Structure 1
Amino acid sequence: MAWEYFWVDTCCIDKSNHTEHTEAIYCMFRWYQNAAACYVWFNRGWALEELLAPSQVIFFSSDGQRLGDKKSLQREIRERTNIPVGALEGTSLSTFNVDKRMS
């Protein structure tokens, strides 16, 4: 498969500026949502956008071994994040009440 674009998330968001922070989160969600796949290390801080937006998330260990994907590691992700299974499976986030989305 040839990729037209490849994005490596290496930048930090200025969280001291609320407007910039909010806009950056919306932009990141759209980028991840349009991605063919998202590749992440399993034992690091994840951005919520990385877990929910892309249809395919593939996890690797820090030494580069493939551990699985969002579907095969669903139980472990749920245990670590408390994200509802439906959200991990791609259910529209608008179907969750505000309290659940904020938690």
Structure 2
Amino acid sequence: MTMRSQLTSVRPPVGIRAGARGPAPSDQQGEDVARDRLELVPVLPDGWRMRDRSHREADASGLLGFAQTAGTGVDVVWLTPVPSTEHFQSLDELIAAATARCATRPA
């Protein structure tokens, strides 16, 4: 199975937050809140828009960036805090990084 097909097979459906994986240990309460704020919205067959759910959907400041599967993982264009690009080996790594960004942003 190629990396692209592996990543496509774990793509979250529309409206599913990265935090929708079940309860986490109570000592990670801050991380749980950040995960609950992250939303991945499919915009292409192999791409997602990442949004901080603590902002209204129409509020552009809630847009974190865009991600798309690449031959060896996931490529990301971050829009906040400063525009940049990054590559991740897996969707789980991307979710962890996006969750960390949510945790450092004001709600």
Same fold (TM over 0.5): no
Higher relative contact order (CA 8 A, sep 6+): 2
Relative to the length of structure 2, the TM-score reads 0.25
Q: By percentage of residues, which structure has more strand? A: 2
TM-score computed with the length of structure 1 as normaliser: 0.26
Which has the larger Rg?
Answer: 1
Q: Which has the higher helix share?
A: 1
